[in-house]
Amino acid sequence: MVVNANIVSGLIVGFAFGIALQRGRFCFNSAFRDTLLFRDYTIIKAIGVAIAIEMVGFQLLSDLGIVELFPRGLYWGANILGGFMFGVGMVLAGGCISGSTYRTGEGMVGSMLALAGIAVGGALTLEYSLAPIKDAFQTATEIKINGRIPTVPLLFGVSPWVIIVPVFILFLFFAQRSYRRERKGKHDPISLFGRGWPWWFGGIIVGLLAVVSYPVTEAAGQTVPLAMTGGYIGILAAIVYRNLAFIGWYQAMVIGAVLGAAFAAALAHEWKLRAPPAKMLAQSLVGGLVMGVGAVLGDGCNITTILIGVPLFSLGGILAGTFTILGCWTAAYIMFG
């Protein structure tokens, strides 16, 4: 590891992201699962707001020539299987990668084991025993449109704005309607380090962070802002091989995110080292392993597929994200239904 601008920018972006994740309670697992178990739509609305902002922000950055957009590829078999595994794994682990990251910062031991599982499962699939299976799956089911990565605008042969504008207006309409209905004349001030942020505030902050971090990510030579799986795999490699050369932008970003979440949790009096019974710890570790395999096989965790892939209209991201939700619902229904 050379302490260079990339490490510093990764730490800063991660730190800000960690604060937003902890304060916004940004966990995709809670978001999807709660719609089924509790008919609770709070976190999924936050994700919707973030995606709406990103759609506009990413395309503006691209039109202004500030970034080059690289939507993730479509490998339907790998996206379906990997996405579904990721969805099942996050229910077992009690949190997806972003959720487990912020809870690790809060001092929750089960989430630390989930992250360890993600790193091991991800590494096995990326480089070791499961890598041939992943490669075979991705190669056999890859689809391109005229040699290009398939996206919704490419599929229909239209400018991305033709999709962005109506979708953004629709999002805005539902968001403000929901906001007004909940508020009913109340004016609760937002407390940065008191209770969790309201969904719309968390969504705006995460969306803006993703947009701002896009050029920073590309300046560091990477393509997917805020993606976390590779970060944890790299940290595992650095520990196993005792080689700091594995610590780059993504690794610095996830370390920054855990620190940012810990900082926010401490200020909000939510930091404490705490562990569930042993059986749940084991379940978190297994869930992490399944998530790690799914994330690398399906080409992305929720951040890559849903938070970044959907606003870029990547068909692979949309497909994997859809199956993550289905996997989450299936596992939640069996375990808690």
Partner 1 sequence: MGQVSSITPDDVLDVKGEICPYPDIKTRKKLKQMKPGQVLEVLTDYPLSVERIPRNVEKEGHKVLKIERIDGPTHQIFIQVGSSG
Q: Which residues bind partner 1 (CB under 8 A)?
A: 25, 27, 29-30, 33-34, 37-40, 42, 94-95, 99, 103, 106, 108-111, 195-196, 265, 268-272, 274-277, 280, 332, 336
Beta carbon nearer to partner 1, 60 or 259: 259
Separation CA 99–CA 101 (nearest Å): 5
Beta carbon nearer to partner 1, 63 or 182: 182
To the nearest 5 percent, what fractions of the chain are helix, strand and coil? Answer: 70, 5, 25
Beta bridge partners of 274: 108
Beta carbon nearer to partner 1, 33 or 134: 33
Separation CA 221–CA 227 (nearest Å): 14
Residues 6+ apart with CB under 8 A from 288: 89, 93, 100, 113, 114, 115, 116, 117, 118, 119, 120, 121
For the bound state, the minimum distance from the C-beta of residue 269 to partner 1, rounded and expressed in Å, comes to: 5
Q: What is the CA radius of gyration of the chain?
A: 19
Residues 6+ apart with CB under 8 A from 173: none
For the bound state, the minimum distance from the C-beta of residue 216 to partner 1, rounded and expressed in Å, comes to: 29
Beta carbon nearer to partner 1, 22 or 213: 22
For the bound state, the minimum distance from the C-beta of residue 273 to partner 1, rounded and expressed in Å, comes to: 10
Cα atoms found within 13 Å of the Cα of residue 102, Cβ hemisphere only:
24
Beta carbon nearer to partner 1, 9 or 302: 302
For the bound state, the minimum distance from the C-beta of residue 79 to partner 1, rounded and expressed in Å, comes to: 25
For the bound state, the minimum distance from the C-beta of residue 211 to partner 1, rounded and expressed in Å, comes to: 26
Classified as helix, coil or strand, 310 is: coil
Which two structure tokens, joined as six digits, stand for 18?
Answer: 């960690």
Beta carbon nearer to partner 1, 39 or 187: 39
Report the run of H or E that residue 102 belongs to, with start and end: helix 97-106
Residues 6+ apart with CB under 8 A from 289: 89, 117, 118, 120, 121
Pairing of strands 142-143, 74-75: antiparallel
For the bound state, the minimum distance from the C-beta of residue 98 to partner 1, rounded and expressed in Å, comes to: 13
Beta carbon nearer to partner 1, 142 or 270: 270
Beta carbon nearer to partner 1, 99 or 327: 99
Beta carbon nearer to partner 1, 70 or 201: 201
For the bound state, the minimum distance from the C-beta of residue 329 to partner 1, rounded and expressed in Å, comes to: 13
SS (H, E, C) 17-63: HHHHHHHHCCCHHHHHHHHHHCCCCHHHHHHHHHHHHHHHHHHHHHH
For the bound state, the minimum distance from the C-beta of residue 227 to partner 1, rounded and expressed in Å, comes to: 22
CA-closest candidate to residue 100, choices 51, 31, 32, 29: 29
For the bound state, the minimum distance from the C-beta of residue 118 to partner 1, rounded and expressed in Å, comes to: 15
Which two structure tokens, joined as six digits, stand for 5?
Answer: 């601008």
